């Protein structure tokens, strides 16, 4: 017989009655009924009830047990007199003949292992993550994560992709976020950078003649954390294809993503192709480049109509409106709550609204400014009786669009308008190649390695802010879950694209020397994308926080409380890599 176990805690059934077996796991619960003691023994596979009675040696060991002690139990499978139909093992129990303590546990735990996580402070959970991972819900999240990744690998293999690993110690390059730098011991004063993505390497693989590449790639970006973004590091399904167009990439995305979702969820997963929404349309209609299409509300421009009113809040401003079907029946408390939200959360000077009554008249909010003619226009173009209309106004288009987008999201939540248990995918296409930075400088909007629509001619003849790129995002339920592009594979075009963003040809040769050099040697057209694994898993598992699907996440301040990282290092370690610290005294 095996030293620790012959079976797991989830597999014994009534057919095993009479067998002598050995189980190992953790004590989840102890119930002492005097003459008998019952122990719920848990492992990754399930729970089996252990009964201790009429055995003084076993009782002696059992009396020492506390929850979460790791033990091995030798015993006989017997039929339970009081069966539990809710448990797969609920028809049997194990009559203990011997209990061996494999790992002692402190009598006082930092928190109850199988309690609701919402009742436990998150930083405490992360400090004791090894205990938190014993919680069945979190444990199953991590197991499902492994299954999802396996599914993706199998599907990519079936589609003819080859998995190739690329370096972790790479060069620093301007890809939109801060790099994590690694000092070199052998080359004083020089640094590696952890890759923000395998972008350059996968393009070089296409130059090398590989047809279809992919990997489950770790990526490192020194960004602030969010509920849907893990600080520091994340994983993505990185793939690239030679001799490929944008449409070829879409076919892969529209195959692999729904296939993966469908295999691991009971929610509705629509068939492809995904709805395609130009970036400009997404911002106008949804106020976001990652719209949640489960929300039926849309944003409409009513600047022309609004400026006909005598309402000072609209005068000389751009005005956006959202019509809420049958929203007129909402309470005054609801309208006041939305106004408060707009002021406090969105920084709006105000939120303006009206109700459309059954007879087509207007009431509430700014109704006194809606003349008969203006009301007629609103009814003809956007609203109907029993609707409510919300307005926001501003002087700058982009901030106004984003404000209206946030308002749309909040209205959808508060009115419970979102489709239930369904995934809605879309492709955001035609991203601007460039944007203005906060300093007013022309900068890349998305991926600097993208092919501009119209090629070199567009870069030479058009206003940079009017040039579109072959760039695209996949969005699901309000989350960006993949990003990609057709790559710029022409060295002359590459230099021109970077010059517009303020980089000289020498900068390109220095920062992207490998790509620039490789592009001189017969580069095939190529394109690809990178679905974010952590977000996909978060959506499949219906978690609101990405940390719930990562085994060892960092907290909101990018600290690993369990491993105590980041941490200080010794002077000797710093000398080895030729670094002196220059820290301000606190």
Q: What is the pLDDT of residues 525-574, one digit of tens each?
A: 999 999 999 999 999 999 999 999 999 999 989 999 999 999 999 999 99
- Please, which pLDDT band fits residue 585 given cuts at 50, 70 and 90? confident
Mean pLDDT score across all residues of the chain: 94
pLDDT in tens, 27-44: 999 999 878 999 999 999
Token pair of 211, please?
Answer: 């047809």
d(CA 505, CA 496): 8
Residues 513-520: what's their mean pLDDT? 92
Tens digit of pLDDT for each residue in 543-552?
999 999 999 9
pLDDT tens digits, one per residue of 351-360: 999 999 999 9
Give the integer Cα–Cα distance in Å for 371 and 542.
47
pLDDT band at residue 511 using 50, 70 and 90 as cut-offs? confident
Sheet holding 471-476, edge to edge: 162-163, 212-221, 232-242, 526-531, 479-486, 471-476, 425-429, 275-278
Please tell me the predicted confidence (pLDDT) of residue 272: 81
pLDDT band at 6 (very low <50, low <70, confident <90, very high): very high
Q: Span 510-524, mean pLDDT?
A: 92
Task: Spell out the domain ranges in the chain.
Answer: 14-103, 295-414
Contact by Cβ (8 Å): 388, 328: yes
Share of the chain above pLDDT 90, in %: 88
Q: In what order do the strands lie in the sheet with 318-324?
A: 299-301, 318-324, 388-394, 352-356, 362-363
Q: CA-CA distances (angstroms) from residue 25 to 8, 10, 46, 321, 503?
A: 8, 11, 10, 59, 60
Q: Could you tell me which CATH number the domain at 14-103 has? A: 2.40.50.140
Tell me what pLDDT residue 574 has.
94
Sign of CA dihedral 63, 65, 71, 77: positive
Q: Which CATH architecture has domain 295-414?
A: 2-Layer Sandwich (3.30)
At 272-304, the pLDDT tens digits run 899 999 999 999 999 999 999 999 999 999 999
């Amino acid at each position: 017989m095996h030293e620790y176990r012959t079976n797991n805690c989830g597999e014994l059934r009534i057919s095993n009655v009479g067998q002598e077996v050995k189980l190992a796991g953790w004590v989840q619960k102890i119930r002492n009924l005097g003459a008998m003691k019952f122990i719920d023994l848990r492992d990754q596979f399930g729970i089996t009830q252990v009964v201790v009675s009429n055995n003084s040696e076993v009782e002696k060991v059992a009396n020492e047990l506390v929850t979460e002690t790791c033990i091995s139990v030798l015993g006989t499978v017997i039929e339970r007199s009081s069966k539990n139909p809710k448990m797969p093992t609920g028809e049997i129990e194990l009559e203990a003949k011997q209990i061996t303590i494999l790992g002692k546990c402190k009598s006082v735990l930092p928190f109850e292992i199988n309690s609701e996580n919402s009742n436990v402070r998150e930083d405490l959970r992360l400090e004791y993550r090894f205990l938190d991972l014993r919680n069945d819900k979190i444990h199953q999240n991590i197991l499902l994560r492994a299954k999802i990744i396996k599914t993706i690998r199998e599907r990519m293999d079936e589609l003819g992709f080859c998995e190739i690993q690329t370096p972790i110690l790479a060069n620093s390059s301007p890809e939109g976020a801060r790099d994590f730098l690694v000092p070199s011991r052998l080359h004083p004063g020089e640094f590696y950078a952890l890759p923000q993505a395998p972008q350059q390497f996968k393009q070089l693989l296409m130059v090398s003649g590989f047809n279809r590449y992919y990997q489950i790639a770790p990526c490192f970006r020194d960004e602030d954390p969010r509920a849907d973004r893990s600080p520091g590091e994340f994983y993505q399904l990185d793939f690239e294809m030679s001799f490929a167009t944008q449409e070829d990439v879409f076919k892969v995305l529209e195959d692999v993503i729904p296939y993966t979702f469908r295999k691991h969820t009971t929610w509705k997963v629509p068939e492809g192709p995904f709805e395609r929404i130009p970036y400009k349309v997404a911002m106008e209609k949804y106020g976001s480049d990652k719209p949640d299409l489960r929300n039926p509300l849309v944003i409409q421009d009513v600047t022309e109509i609004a400026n006909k009113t005598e309402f000072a809040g609209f005068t000389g401003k751009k005005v956006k409106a959202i019509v809420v079907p049958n929203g007129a029946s909402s309470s005054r408390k609801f309208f006041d709550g939305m106004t408060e939200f707009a002021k406090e959360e969105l920084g709006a000077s105000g939120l303006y609204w009206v109700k459309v009554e059954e007879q087509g008249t207007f009431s509430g909010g700014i109704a006194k400014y809606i003349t008969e003619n203006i009301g007629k226009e609103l009814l003809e173009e956007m609203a109907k009786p029993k609707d409510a209309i919300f307005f926001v106004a501003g002087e700058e288009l982009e901030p106004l669009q984003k404000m209206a987008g946030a308002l749309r999201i909040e209205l959808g939540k508060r009115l419970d308008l979102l489709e239930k248990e369904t995934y809605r995918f879309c492709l955001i296409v035609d991203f601007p190649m460039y944007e203005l930075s906060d300093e007013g400088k022309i900068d890349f909007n998305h991926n600097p390695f993208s092919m501009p629509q119209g090629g070199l001619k567009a870069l030479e003849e058009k206003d940079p802010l009017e040039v579109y790129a072959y760039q695209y995002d996949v969005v699901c339920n309000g989350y960006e879950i993949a990003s990609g592009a057709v790559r710029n594979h022409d060295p002359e075009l590459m230099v021109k694209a970077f010059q517009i963003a303020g980089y000289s040809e020498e900068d390109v040769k220095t920062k992207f020397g490998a790509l620039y050099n490789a592009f001189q040697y017969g580069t095939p057209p190529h394109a690809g994308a990178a679905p974010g694994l952590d977000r996909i898993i978060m959506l499949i598992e219906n978690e609101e926080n990405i940390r719930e699907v990562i085994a060892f996440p960092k907290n909101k301040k990018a600290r690993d409380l369990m491993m105590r990282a980041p941490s200080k290092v010794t002077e000797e370690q710093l000398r080895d890599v030729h670094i002196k610290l220059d820290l301000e005294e606190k």
